Amino acid sequence: MALGPTQRVFSAAKRLLKSLIANSETRLRLAVFELEEERARLLVLLLLAGASLLLLLLGIATLTALVVVLFWDSYRLTAIAISAGVLIGASLLLAVIAIRQSKQHSLLKETLKQLAADRALLEEPSDETIRRHR
């Protein structure tokens, strides 16, 4: 049984809508997957960074105490000042590195790349598509 023009248009529109919904669902699943991966990675990163910082703090405190005790009789104020200067300088350097790292964008990178590719396909017809319509 042959379909009329109106039925063919509705059928084509229905297929197009199904295709758009399926494509959107795929992109949404990719975004959710990337967010779950990023959350797990950040949790592990925070735990490792916290433990590392705690151990570093204890080590630096012990080392600073050792330096001050070694120079207590002759240069105690100089030893304290130099230790404090080194610690403050190192903390400023690490703060600058942390700020640079925080500016790097990596959240949903693959999802954004796929959406950009989809948009490019919709906006610019390819040479092959133009040749087919001529």
Report the range of poorest mean pLDDT among 58-62, 101-105, 116-120, 126-130. Answer: 126-130
Tell me the chain's radius of gyration from C-alpha atoms.
Answer: 30
Reported pTM: 0.45
pLDDT category of residue 67 using cuts at 50, 70 and 90: confident
How far is 35 from 29, CA to CA, in rounded Å?
A: 10
Place of tokens 């092959």: 128
